[in-house]
């Protein structure tokens, strides 16, 4: 007997909580945590319920569908570690943080491999005995590069791709194959400073706070649904390089926090916004 | 038709959410927000449910009691402004903040009067056309002083007393007459720096962060259940006076935040801890 | 004998600190605080020195100019309260905060009058016995409106204008008459969400942090040099209205903090950035 | 030619900055950063000056001593990486963070070895090809244990010892051999929750914020001068185990930040407080 998580998203109507909890109650399943949210603008209902007890998935889901609107999205998760592949470039800090958390079983994920457009992080990955795939540039443009990525990913069948400071833009075609399954860390407090060199932009603008944003990747660069954001204060003594260094710590914390939420099935999408039950 | 809040606290057992939401559903009441928590250590169940719809209180409560454990605490709130009296001494910032919020209808309370052991804040209170009661010292000790407070409060019958930098200790006998109904702002991050002159203590200890704590007052000084805490960074250039000035802003924010939570019926007690549904 | 502040800005060259402190030392003036900064990009030198001692301004400044580059900007401040006029519209929270701080001598400014394009805050200002000037719309467009503002300001000769949630855009012509002397509070973490309705924009974008920015007003809307920024966390449960309410506290703190820095002569301009000695 | 740092601590008197900068100016050394502080309570003067230029240490120091009070403490640092040994127990997160920063040259230290009273972190240290010394318990008490530590340290001659969640108390005798050279991370916002199990204490007290404190180790447990403190918000849903997990991230950031400050010669002691030029 172990903890499972029920995830429900549907149009709102009276009696949903009563109906859903009734199904669980009649089957003798013990609710240990329960969170609901109704988005007023869209009238969508979201619910995440942790329960203990032995149950077969399909009969339970069928019984739940019977008390829910026709187009309801109902899922059951056993909170098993997610299968992930991490993309990186030259900066080590986010990748190293994920490798350490993975090594000590704190990521709730099975890190299958690291892919990079540079070779410099190969020795770091080797320390943790994980596969490292180098896929350089200059080999026929983005199309060819992404075909190479595809071939690598086919061998792993990951549930999620994590862009841990991966400094290359993925095409809509590539992104479209992993809907809501690519998570990126952007080194600014989005929507401030989209695009390249956000720390240089922040320096030019003279901001007194910098931040980092973890978000799902969509077709539109830096515009996907935001999962976690956090900031730190800076001042006039910070050069762009100082800003980047100061930002590294917040970047890795924000990415790790976002992955924890996603991998524990705590994040729903609501249009371009996220509903997060933490 | 207006929003009402159902508040339930009882021992935990399976089916509580299903039972409670069933009562509301059958009466056609529409749940617009719902939060539950089970404290693992004490196996206590807490629930706060906002709903829309017309209903008589007593029949509803009786029906709810029928689906709850015998000793359940069930209450219905209409979120009406709470009746409060504010105690202050010489410092104006917390009191002024409450007066402004009250003036503009943002306190969810009816501020009936201000009581002070000093006269200096009388002109401030007069600006807002509220009664100010000065009850000085030297008139026979604490017993006599508190008897005077009692006489003043009898005229107002407040639901809550707010100690807005009231620098005099109330006796257990006095406090016992307002169980979980006196809210204090303490100018430190409790339990650091209990007692007098916390900013001087903070300076001596050389801390790099100072804070404020809003808590319910109990018999034991500075040990009551904590409602809100917040901090700000400081450094070696701060004298005790600088620390106090820097702390004022966080004090008034913490107190206002705690009052908002309490006055919106979002705070439950769980032993010496608080369960807060915000 | 009281504390004075020496403010120096010039091109950088070796020996500046030695030269400046030498002038003060030879005159027997006691330095109680000293801060310098050299901006690497522009090679500009900034220095703020607090000292005790009796001295005539002009001879001291002349002696200092002799040890500084030709185009140096040298000023002496006696930290006297600045003369200010506050502009507001309908929202009370920033204005009320300034009125309270002014009433209790904590603003380091003499608040001469409040100007508003609405009448609703007149009663608040009246409580503090300060002049309130209502200058409504519909009376001939912006030119006529700003001519009216000018007439009011001529009577007060303020050193600084404070826009405390003043929701009307001032023309470059008007702004140009008060270079680096108009301070605005913008209800977002600039440069995110420039322009109107930043809280609605923040809601649409689904951010997890909102903020406020105090900045000098320049010809370019929301693009002036930033003085103070601060943020607070939010989540999916916040409606645009909730975001606005949550933002009010941070707005008034950020504005008050910026004014304290400016009025204590702690803020230098460095292009479109600020150098702040706090 | 490289950057050097001049560190001065002495009793305060007029003309110190002028005198010190004069010595540097006459030798053609270019000041690139300069910070001073006078502690009012003790009348002690602190100064940290970064300068560029070629100079022999002893003649410069002698010339500086000539313009300073007799008992002045004057040092010259070349900012070379400090020699350090890290002590750990079972928890990996702070140690792993230091190993990664060291591997990528971001610690400004040469990590010579790791010492632990448990064997469990040996594989982690091995990944980074650094010596790991296991010194278990039960071998004759603290005296014998510390004699073992001493033998290990003799081989490395470290300048600083870093206690990265080392869960064993060091005797005053041991500590006394490394005055102001042992840095500890304590998993609470000191002085709240001194001693063992601070997260359990925090849970019992029901705090709404938890923190971490990096401090120099003195004879008195958890009472040494504080270098860095930082906090994160928590709520009633956090069990003691959740608090510990949430605290890990802040612990490693606080420790890394404190080490950066100390290793860059930015931290002075002022009684039991620290003066930090960052």
pTM: 0.96
Does A36 lie at the interface with D, CB-CB under 8 angstroms? no
Question: 3-class secondary structure for chain A?
Answer: CCEEEEEEEEECCCCHHHHHHHHHHHCCCEEEEEEEEEECCCCEEEEEEEEECCCCHHHHHHHHHHCCCCCCEEEEECCCCEEEEEEECCCCHHHHHHHHHHHCCCCCEEEEEEEECCCCCHHHHHHCCCCEEECCCCCCHHHHHHHHHHHHHHCCCCCEEEECCCCCCCCHHHHCCCCCCEEEEECCCCCCCCCCCHHHHHHHHCCCEEEEEEEECCCCCCCCCEEEEEEEECCCCCCHHHHHHHHHHHHHHHHHHHHHHHHCCCEEEECCEEEECC
Chain D residues with beta carbon closer than 8 angstroms to that of B205: 190-191, 226, 272-273
**What mean pLDDT comes out for the span B196-211?**
93
Mean pLDDT of the D197-214 span: 94
Do B82-276 and B3-77 have the same topology in CATH? Answer: no
A14 close contact with B: CB closer than 8 A: yes
Measured between alpha carbons, how far is C38 from C21 in angstroms, rounded to an integer? 17
Q: Which chain A residue is nearest to residue D235, measuring alpha carbons?
A: A278
Give mean pLDDT, residues C258-266: 97
**A67 touches B at CB < 8 Å:** no
Q: What does the pLDDT look like over C20-40, one tens digit per residue?
A: 999 999 999 988 889 999 998
Cβ–Cβ contact A41 with B under 8 A: no
Residue C236 touches chain B, beta carbons under 8 Å: no
Question: For domain A3-77, which CATH number applies: 3.10.20.740, 2.60.120.580, 3.30.930.10, 3.30.70.260?
Answer: 3.30.70.260
Strand partners, C225: none
Across the interface, of C17, C33, C34, the residue whose CB is closest to D31 is: C17
Asked if residue A164 lies in contact with residue A94, where contact means CB atoms within 8 angstroms, the answer is: yes
pLDDT at residue B242 is higher than 90: yes
In chain A, the residue whose alpha carbon lies closest to the alpha carbon of B15 is A25
- B209 to chain A, any CB pair closer than 8 A? The answer is no
pLDDT at B175 over 90: yes
Confidence of residue A219 (pLDDT cuts 50, 70, 90): confident
Q: Provide the sign of the torsion angle of the four alpha carbons C205, C209, C210, C216, taken in this order.
A: negative
**Does A230 contact C at CB distance below 8 Å?**
yes
Between CA D114 and CA D99 the distance in angstroms is: 10
CA B248 – CA B226 distance, rounded (Å): 19
Q: What is the mean pLDDT of chain B?
A: 94
The pLDDT assigned to C195 comes to: 83
Task: Give me the mean pLDDT over the C216-234 stretch.
Answer: 94
Q: C227: which chain A residues are within 8 Å (Cβ-Cβ)?
A: 208
Residues of C in contact with B127 (CB under 8 A): 127-128
How far is it, in rounded angstroms, from Cα D65 to Cα D74? 7
Nearest to D100 among A100, A104, A256 (CB): A100
The pLDDT, as a whole number, for residue C142 is 85
Read off the pLDDT band of B156 (50, 70, 90): very high
Residues C92, C167: Cα–Cα separation, whole Å: 12
- Residue C185 pLDDT level (bands cut at 50, 70, 90): very high
**Residue D238 token pair:** 């956090």
Please judge whether A191 and C211 are an interchain contact, meaning their C-beta atoms are less than 8 angstroms apart: no
For residue D68, the SS3 value is coil
Give the pLDDT score at D143. Answer: 87
Residues 95-154 of C with CB under 8 A from B: 96-97, 100, 103-104, 106, 124, 127-128
Q: Percent of chain A scored above 70 by pLDDT?
A: 99
**Which residues in chain C are contacts of D33 at CB distance < 8 A?**
38
Binary contact (D227, B208; C-beta < 8 A): yes
Provide ipTM, 2 decimals. Answer: 0.94
State residue A185's pLDDT score.
Answer: 97
Residue in chain D closest to A232 (alpha carbons) equals D230
Q: Identify which of B204, B231, B236 has the shortest CB distance to residue D274.
A: B236
**Residues of chain B neighbouring A38 (CB-CB closer than 8 A):** 32-33
Contact A209, C229 (CB under 8 A): yes
Q: What is the DSSP letter of C131?
A: -
The reply to whether residue D205 touches residue B191, judged by beta carbons under 8 angstroms, is yes
C-beta atoms of C18 and D38 within 8 A: no
Which pLDDT score, from 0 to 100, does residue B122 have? 98
Report the pLDDT value the prediction gives residue A139, as an integer from 0 to 100.
61
Please name the CATH architecture into which domain B82-276 falls: 3-Layer(aba) Sandwich (3.40)
Tell me which chain B residues have a C-beta less than 8 angstroms from the C-beta of C100.
Answer: 92-93, 96-97, 100
Q: How far apart are CA D143 and CA D138, in angstroms?
A: 11
Task: State the chains in contact with B (3 or more Cβ–Cβ pairs under 8 Å).
Answer: A, C, D
- Exactly one of A12, A97, A222, A265 is catalytic; name it: A222
DSSP B147: H
C219 is catalytic: no
For residue D225, give the 3-state DSSP assignment: coil
**Tokens in use for B196?**
């007098």
pLDDT value at residue D80 = 94
Token pair recorded at residue D269 = 């002691």
Query: Is some CB atom of chain A closer than 8 A to the CB atom of B67?
Result: no
Q: Is the confidence at residue C130, as pLDDT, over 90?
A: yes
Q: Give me the residue from B92, B93, B100 closest to C96, CB to CB.
A: B100
| B100 neighbourhood in chain C, CB within 8 Å | 92-93, 96-97, 100
Among residues C12, C73, C219, C222, the one annotated as catalytic is: C222
D100 to A103: CB separation less than 8 angstroms, yes or no: no
Average pLDDT over every residue of C88-109: 97
Nearest to D189 among B209, B225, B235 (CB): B209
Nearest to B229 among D209, D237, D270 (CB): D209
Neighbour-count burial for D23-58, b at 16+ CB within 10 Å, e otherwise: bbbeeebbbeebbbbbbeeeebbbbbbbbebebeee
What is the chain C residue with the closest CA to D47? C34
Confidence of residue D221 (pLDDT cuts 50, 70, 90): confident
Summarize pLDDT for D78-103 with one digit per residue, the tens: 999 999 999 999 999 999 999 999 99
Is the pLDDT at A1 greater than 60? The verdict is no
Nearest chain C residue to D20, by CA = C18
Report the candidate in B166, B236, B251 with the shortest Cα–Cα distance to residue B202: B236
B103: chain C residues, CB-CB within 8 Å: 124
Chain D residue closest in CA terms to C19? D18
Q: In residues, how long is chain D?
A: 278
What does the pLDDT average to over B138-156?
89
pLDDT of residue B136: 85
Asked if the C-beta of D156 comes within 8 angstroms of chain A's C-beta atoms, the answer is no
Half-sphere exposure of D68 (CA within 13 A, CB side): 25
Nearest CA in chain D to C40: D32
Over 90: is that where the pLDDT of D195 sits?
Answer: no
Q: Are the beta carbons of D236 and B270 separated by less than 8 Å?
A: yes
How much is the pLDDT for A26?
95
Confidence class of residue C220 from pLDDT cuts 50, 70 and 90? confident
Q: What is the pLDDT of residue B1?
A: 55
- Are residues B174 and B153 in contact, defined by beta-carbon separation less than 8 angstroms? no
Rounded mean pLDDT, C124-151: 90
C3 chain-D contacts, CB cut-off 8 A: none
- Token readout for A33 is 């945590």
In this predicted model, what pLDDT tens digit does every residue of A141-174 receive, in sequence order? 888 889 999 999 999 999 999 999 999 999 999 9
Q: Which candidate, D14, D25, D8, places its Cα nearest to that of C16?
A: D25
How many percent of chain B have pLDDT more than 70? Answer: 99
pLDDT of residue D1: 55
In terms of DSSP bridges, do strands B160-163 and B82-88 run parallel, antiparallel, or are they unpaired? parallel
Catalytically annotated residues of D:
222
pLDDT of residue C139: 61
Where exactly are the structural domains of chain A? 3-77, 82-276
User: Between residues B21 and A53, which one has the greater pLDDT?
Assistant: B21
Q: What is the pLDDT of residues C233-259, one digit of tens each?
A: 999 999 999 999 999 999 999 999 999
Name which of B209, B230, B274 is nearest D206 (Cβ-Cβ).
Answer: B274
Q: How many CA atoms lie within 13 A of C150 on its CB side?
A: 14
């Amino acid at each position: 007997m172990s903890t499972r998580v029920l995830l429900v998203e549907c149009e709102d109507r009276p009696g949903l909580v009563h109906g859903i909890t009734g199904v669980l109650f009649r089957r003798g399943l013990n609710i240990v945590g329960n969170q609901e949210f109704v988005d007023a603008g869209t009238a969508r209902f979201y619910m995440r319920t942790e329960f203990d007890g032995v149950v077969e998935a399909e009969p339970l889901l069928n019984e739940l569908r019977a008390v829910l609107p026709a187009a309801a999205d109902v899922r059951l998760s056993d909170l098993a570690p997610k299968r992930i592949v991490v993309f990186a470039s030259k900066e080590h800090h986010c990748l190293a943080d994920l490798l350490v958390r993975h090594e000590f079983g704190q990521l709730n994920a099975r890190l299958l491999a690291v892919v990079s457009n540079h070779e410099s992080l190969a020795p770091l990955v080797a320390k943790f005995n994980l596969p490292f795939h180098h896929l350089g540039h200059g080999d026929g443009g983005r199309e060819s590069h992404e075909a190479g990525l595809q071939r690598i990913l086919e061998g792993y069948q990951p549930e999620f791709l994590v862009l841990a400071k991966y400094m290359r833009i993925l095409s809509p075609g590539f992104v479209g194959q992993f809907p809501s399954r690519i998570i990126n860390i952007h080194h600014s407090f989005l929507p401030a400073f989209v695009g390249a060199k956000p720390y240089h932009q922040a320096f030019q603008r003279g901001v007194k706070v910098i931040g980092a944003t973890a978000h799902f990747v969509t077709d539109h660069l830096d515009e996907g649904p935001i999962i976690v954001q956090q900031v730190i204060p800076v001042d006039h003594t910070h050069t762009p390089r100082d800003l980047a260094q100061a930002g590294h710590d917040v970047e890795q914390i924000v990415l790790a926090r976002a992955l924890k939420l996603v991998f524990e099935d705590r994040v729903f999408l609501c249009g371009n916004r996220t509903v997060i039950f933490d």
